[in-house]
Amino acid sequence: MVEGLAAAVAVIALLRSNYETTEFVRFGSLLGLAVLQAELSRSVERLRRTLCDRPHINMTSVWTFAGVLVLPQGLALALGLLIYLHLWLRVWRGMSHRPAYRVVYCAAAIVISCLASGAIVSGWNGLPVGFAGSLKIVEAAAVFTVVNAFIVALSVYLHTGARAPRSLFGTGDDNLLEITTLVLGTSTALGIVHAPALVPFVLLPVLVLHRSVLVRQLEIAANIDGKTGVLNAHAWHALSERELTSAARAKSKLGVLMLDLDHFKQVNDVYGHLAGDVVLKVVAETISEHVRDYDSVGRFGGEEFVVLLPGATETDVLPVAERVRRAVMALEVEVATATGPRVVRGLSVSIGAAVYPSGGTVLERLLHVADSALYQAKNSGRNRVVALAAA
């Protein structure tokens, strides 16, 4: 439905307009720059899509939003469609997680976003100057972003059933990237109207931005546990070593929690391993939500997690651990099984705690003490918190 509406609108807009030579020149310039940028960053975009395929966050807004600001509506819509056609033919085709129907839907979303934001600036003869004109550009950018995001979020919800804002709308970094591309699009539009010879130089920041986004995604892929979204063991160890060095230098304290999900094998046996993975992810999210904002959660292996609490004293560690324990007890996790949806209840976690320097002055010693406390919690009946000092 969205695709049909977008196609109809684009055709009507093209047929109803009479274009001037200047408008065709601007159209050709934007399309040429978009194609050149896509070709120069082709390998970057393919790898970026492989690592993290956010449906509507990409570099195309630089060119499509510039088109909204400086082109008649029909040419602006055609620009968006041609950019996505080129990306499909040269970049995304053959990628299993980027099928044609998704590209068509995203292109349709861009067309409708251009239409909605273009209505705000329709009738402009070039870009206006002054405060009022700037407000119109900001308003158009906001409409472009919101309409595009909600159309794609609707698609994600209908296809996957996802409800989490992060799944529907992307992360904060994703949306900051979208805003940045709109700012670059505005700069491109200003250049086309007032200094056309400078417009090709916009390519440089766009290419650098694209590559920097990939670098960030590579860093995340190297440091984040794929199943749970928290730090992997290597990244958590590296971070903890740095924090321990800082604590020693400042003569401050530092807490470590080791957590083990009780009877997790039963979850796998009863509901299946895929359901177990869902439970692990929800537990990891719950731990992250109930520790302090500046604490670091990692997956130690299997159903074991670790938490680093910078600056935490003995009196700080236990309340945090208890808060996590109670939150896990309250969980009700809906999982898919071979017999249909089911709800996992009755989860619990055993937690061992240690504090620097009383629990040890090196990380491995702290982990050993926290691990001993964890096993004491297990042997005492599970679903409890135990803190130990070094023997």
Burial 324-335 (b: 16+ CB within 10 A, else e): bbebbeebebeb
What are the structure tokens assigned to 37, written together?
Answer: 């940028």
20, 241, 303, 314: the active-site residue: 303
Q: What is the largest CA-CA distance in the chain?
A: 85
What is d(CA 147, CA 143) in angstroms, rounded to the nearest whole number? Answer: 6
* C-beta neighbour count of 44 within 10 angstroms: 18
Q: Is 285 a catalytic residue?
A: no
DSSP 238: H
Are β-strands 385-387 and 349-356 bridged in parallel, bridged antiparallel, or unpaired?
A: parallel
The CA distances from residue 274 to 96, 299, 336, 346, in Å, are 22, 18, 8, 18
| Residue type at 384 in one-letter notation | R
Sign of CA dihedral 319, 321, 322, 328: positive
Lookup result for tokens 């956010």: 54
Among 256, 245, 391, residue whose Cα is nearest residue 317: 256
Residue identified by tokens 């619990």 is 348
Task: Show which residues are catalytic.
Answer: 303
